[in-house]
Amino acid sequence: MGVGKKSERYEMYLRHRKALIDYARPLVGSRQDAEDVVQEAYLHFVPEQESKPLPAKAYLYRIVRNLSFNMRSRRKRHDQIHPGDIPWWALPQAGETPEEELLVHEQLKGAADAMAGLPERARKALQMYRFDGLTLTEISAELGVSVATAHRLVRDAIAEIKAKVDPRI
């Protein structure tokens, strides 16, 4: 009986996958993000307790809607915390005078030292996010943590580096 219920859930998911992506797309802004949301919905919907009765497809849509809103909320918080796409310390810098060159060098060394001083998971998360271009979902899978934890690791790492490089922030 348990396998049958899981199979029914999986079949329901497959039947509605395209429609779910189409539903999520305007909520999250892109097809790629919509596919991520629908894949995450699969992880919530299909493996649920097998003894529970098969819910209506509205339940599946509700999961997608909630995950879409969560993604938008995380993105909005991220954009408020990190308004620029790349922080100044991750961009190539050049000073016009030897003094400015030295200042830039010291600031970059401070950022590198601050990054080296981060806890290992935070450092890995930041490297994957800022330099490897991975999404928070990919980082969470790589580190074996939730997406919210991956977000917190990246956010806190950036805040710590900013504070060490420029204590006025």
DSSP string, 99-118: HHHHHHHHHHHHHHHHHHTS
Length of the chain: 169
| Sequential pLDDT tens for the chain (169 residues) | 444 455 688 888 889 999 999 999 998 888 888 888 888 888 878 766 555 666 778 888 899 999 888 888 877 766 655 555 555 555 556 666 777 777 777 777 887 888 888 899 999 998 888 888 888 888 989 999 988 898 889 888 888 888 777 655 4
Specify the pLDDT at position 94.
Answer: 62
Specify the pLDDT at position 121.
Answer: 92
Alpha carbon distance 155, 130 (integer Å)? 11
The b-or-e profile of 122-134 (16+ CB within 10 A means b, else e) is bbbbbbbbbeeeb
Specify the pLDDT at position 45.
Answer: 80
pTM flag (> 0.85): no
Specify the pLDDT at position 22.
Answer: 92
